């Protein structure tokens, strides 16, 4: 069920609010660890967890997230990933 299916005004308000934030978002760095051979077919399911939110004062801040991708059929971890997103403004 989509919350904005029947509420186009709410969707437009959300877009107007979020676009300035996303325009000031920078991809800081990324770490990728392959835990074994990649399956040639199947479906990977990725889950993420925010592990840190850092306030850098007047220069902005950063969000660190860990992402784990598993094979849907076996549940075995295939890839671990860590992403750092930085903002270039004060929050």
Higher per-residue confidence, 85 vs 16: 85
Domains and CATH numbers, the chain: 26-87 (3.10.129.10)
Per-residue pLDDT band at 1 (split at 50, 70, 90) = very low
Per the confidence metrics, is the pTM higher than 0.85? no
How does 8-35 read in b/e, with b if 16+ C-beta sit within 10 Å? eeeeeeeeeeeeeeeeeeeeeeeeeeee
């Amino acid at each position: 069920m989509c919350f904005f299916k029947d509420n186009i005004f709410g969707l437009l308000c959300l877009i107007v609010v979020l676009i300035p934030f996303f325009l000031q978002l920078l991809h800081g760095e990324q770490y990728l660890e392959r835990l074994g051979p990649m399956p040639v077919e199947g479906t990977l399911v990725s889950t993420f967890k925010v592990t840190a939110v850092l306030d850098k004062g007047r220069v902005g801040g950063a969000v660190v997230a860990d992402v784990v991708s598993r094979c849907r059929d076996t549940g075995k971890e295939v890839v671990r990933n860590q992403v750092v997103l930085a903002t270039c403004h004060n929050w």
